[in-house]
Amino acid sequence: MKKAVRLLLILTIVSFIAPVHAQDAKQKGLDAITQQAVKGQLEFLASDWTEGRATGQPGAYMAADYIASLFKVYGLQPAGDMEFERPTRAERMAGKRPSSYRTFYQSFNLIETRAGKDHELSLSETTAGGSRTLNFTYQTDFSVQASGVSTELELPIVFVGYGLTDEENGYDDFKDVDVKDKIILRLSGYPGHTDETSKAYDTFSSDWGRGRWTLMRAKNERASELGAAAVIEVNPGSDVGAAWAANLPFRVNSGNYEGVKPRASYYETRMSLPGNELSSATVRITVSDRVMNELVKGTGVDLEAFQEKVKSSLKPDSKALAGKKLRVKTTVDSKLIRARNVVGVLPGKDTTEIIVVGGHYDHLGIHDGWIWNGADDNGSGTVGVMSIARACMATGEKPEKTIVFCAWTGEEKGLLGSRYFADHPYNDAKMILNLNYDMISRDNTNDSLGNMCSMNYTKAYSVLEDLTNNNIEEYDLDLDVAFRPAARPRGGSDHSSFSAKDIPIMYFMAGFPPEYHQPDDHLKLINWEKMTNIIKIGYLNIWDLANTEWGADETE
Ligand SMILES: [Zn+2]
């Protein structure tokens, strides 16, 4: 089906089931989205009182209570966990039975881990003449990423190039080596990543050059899958002092502020959903160049020569490091955290299908006394969710389909709240769409008119793009939307949790400002007009999608 025909079809459907009073209702909802209401919500949510809303911290509890209380004010029904009320003895005598009621909170467990203080890394070698052991020093020659449990092991080492498996391009560093229950030594990056003129760069950069974390995650998952016991990574020539020095300056944007102790970092602690096994038991260690040199010395492995060769040959050259063993001892401190999503529902006439409108309310908390307010990330998106809830209630109508409004926790720790909800949804109704808002209030440097934003969406649902264009035109919204369709949209925000389950998504973002994940992501930098318009387009789309029949494109 051609696009124009499809759009016409939508419009016909809308006008068919949308008599005048329904249009009035939709307008009433839109009128409830005002800059004043948007400010009123965000000014509290991103104030110092909520202490940066770090998952599991008191500030996040306060923020969640605030969101739940406004959900209640707007008239949503609770869609979180059940609570039970036990009558007192006297009440029981008077005939009162235990009762239960639903809350706005979906609570779940997270495990918070951080690297402990004691870590050991030593290399033992056997040569013709005898043997020797080298004990390296923590934070001088190596650092440790917290994994699931404290670990102690001594195992042989295998050099695995970049530790990359790229089936599409027929490249696999693990092709000729067995790494099960071994320690792997790998380089950062991917073949050719330092040389834009190389054939390898040409081949791999479009898949792996975009996000350091995406690459790292893919490599780590592959290593675990193959049963590697530990990963040793080195980035040859990198300045390890910039990360490990004991007198590290506290960086704010590009300016450095000297400190007398290492700065506290949000990334020192990790959180994960407990699951049923210790899945992240693969130890990950970063080493300095001089440790790397000791590891490969006398084994015939030449890292520099490998990097040069693979750039044009695109051939792996992995190899076990004969006669060498590494002993690794790492410690992990962990604790259990109780976290909460906030979930409210506007039941439709049909409760078998639900639309999930969500955004994460958690942010980075307090470090070194600085409160990281996260006004844009993601106070703005949370207010987007709350404002759409308010607008839908202001229509005074029951929509055809059910709309669930969610404020996620744990996003900054790995999309944990949305993932938990996607696995344990509100009920057994079918989730037919997720609208995600993350960072909807700032401008990129090239956004001179202050009206640009992006919308990622599931490619097979071009109705989402058509509808957006249609509503922007009909309601004369000052928005310049860059559409980014993908078969299964991914990326570092909560829509990925739904996309991964083949639920179509629509994700709005306004820009990627320099204050992203800095303590100065403040209220004073918000573009209120754009934020309000992005909320309006989200509401208009959701209201239409909750009141019409729509679906994936027909394939010819
Ligand atoms: Zn965010």
pLDDT at 278 over 70: no
What pLDDT was estimated at residue 455?
A: 97
Quickly tell me which residue has 């015939």 as its tokens.
Answer: 300
What pLDDT was estimated at residue 193?
A: 94
pLDDT tier at 145 (50, 70, 90 boundaries)?
Answer: confident
DSSP letter for each residue of 141-194? TEEEE--SS-EEEEEEEEE-TT--EETTTTEETTTT---TTSEEEEESS-TTTT
- Centre of ligand 1 to C-alpha 517, Å, is 9
**One domain for residues 539 and 475:** yes
- Centre of ligand 1 to C-alpha 412, Å, is 7
In this structure, what CATH number is given to the domain that contains residue 455?
3.40.630.10
- pLDDT tens column, 365-412: 998 788 999 999 999 999 999 999 999 999 999 999 999 999 999 999
**One domain for residues 128 and 45:** no
131 conformational bin, left if phi > 0, alpha if psi -120 to 50, beta if neither:
beta
220 within a domain of the structure (yes/no): yes
Identify the three-state secondary structure at position 463: helix
- Centre of ligand 1 to C-alpha 417, Å, is 12
User: Looking at 330, 355, 383, which one is the last position of a domain?
Assistant: 330
215 within a domain of the structure (yes/no): yes
- Centre of ligand 1 to C-alpha 131, Å, is 52
- pLDDT tens column, 284-296: 999 999 999 999 9
- Centre of ligand 1 to C-alpha 418, Å, is 12
145 within a domain of the structure (yes/no): yes
> How far is Cα 55 from Cα 352, in angstroms, rounded to an integer?
31
**One domain for residues 48 and 194:** no
pLDDT tier at 268 (50, 70, 90 boundaries)?
Answer: confident
**Percent of the chain's residues with pLDDT above 90:** 75
Q: By the 8 A CB rule, do 426 and 496 touch?
A: no
> Whole-number mean pLDDT of the chain?
91
**One domain for residues 381 and 512:** yes
- Centre of ligand 1 to C-alpha 493, Å, is 6
**One domain for residues 265 and 362:** no
- pLDDT tens column, 452-485: 999 999 999 999 999 999 999 999 999 999 999 9
- Centre of ligand 1 to C-alpha 53, Å, is 12
Residue 476 belongs to domain spanning: 3-84+339-545
> How far is Cα 508 from Cα 453, in angstroms, rounded to an integer?
7
Average pLDDT over residues 487-504: 94
Task: Compare 210 and 538 and report the one with higher pLDDT.
Answer: 538
What pLDDT was estimated at residue 491?
A: 82
In this structure, what CATH number is given to the domain that contains residue 126?
3.50.30.30
- Centre of ligand 1 to C-alpha 506, Å, is 15
pLDDT tier at 172 (50, 70, 90 boundaries)?
Answer: very high
**One domain for residues 476 and 525:** yes
pLDDT tier at 263 (50, 70, 90 boundaries)?
Answer: low
Is residue 533 reached through a cis peptide bond, with omega within 30 degrees of 0 on the bond before it?
A: no
- Centre of ligand 1 to C-alpha 380, Å, is 9
- Centre of ligand 1 to C-alpha 276, Å, is 28
- pLDDT tens column, 319-356: 999 999 999 999 989 899 999 999 999 999 999 999 99
DSSP letter for each residue of 97-137? PPEEEE-SEEEEEEEEEEE-S--EEEEEEEETTEEEEEEE-
User: Looking at 330, 361, 382, which one is the last position of a domain?
Assistant: 330
What pLDDT was estimated at residue 371?
A: 93
Q: By the 8 A CB rule, do 498 and 484 touch?
A: no
User: Looking at 330, 354, 384, which one is the last position of a domain?
Assistant: 330
- Centre of ligand 1 to C-alpha 160, Å, is 34
- Centre of ligand 1 to C-alpha 419, Å, is 15
105 within a domain of the structure (yes/no): no
**One domain for residues 267 and 347:** no
91 within a domain of the structure (yes/no): no
**One domain for residues 136 and 179:** yes
What pLDDT was estimated at residue 16?
A: 47
106 within a domain of the structure (yes/no): no
pLDDT tier at 256 (50, 70, 90 boundaries)?
Answer: low
pLDDT tier at 148 (50, 70, 90 boundaries)?
Answer: confident
pLDDT at 233 over 60: yes
94 within a domain of the structure (yes/no): no
- Centre of ligand 1 to C-alpha 60, Å, is 15
- pLDDT tens column, 399-458: 999 999 999 999 999 999 999 999 998 788 999 999 999 999 999 999 999 999 999 999
Average pLDDT over residues 501-510: 97
What pLDDT was estimated at residue 4?
A: 44
- Centre of ligand 1 to C-alpha 483, Å, is 19
> How far is Cα 503 from Cα 497, in angstroms, rounded to an integer?
9
- Centre of ligand 1 to C-alpha 440, Å, is 10
- Centre of ligand 1 to C-alpha 377, Å, is 5
**Residues contacting 212, CB < 8 A, separation 6+:** none
**Percent of the chain's residues with pLDDT above 70:** 92
**One domain for residues 269 and 388:** no
**One domain for residues 293 and 378:** no
Query: What one-character DSSP code corresponds to residue 402?
Result: E
**One domain for residues 69 and 150:** no
**One domain for residues 178 and 309:** yes
- Centre of ligand 1 to C-alpha 446, Å, is 21
Helix (H) or strand (E) holding 505: strand 505-509
- Centre of ligand 1 to C-alpha 52, Å, is 13
- Centre of ligand 1 to C-alpha 438, Å, is 5
Q: Provide the domain count of the chain.
A: 2
- Centre of ligand 1 to C-alpha 487, Å, is 22
552 within a domain of the structure (yes/no): no
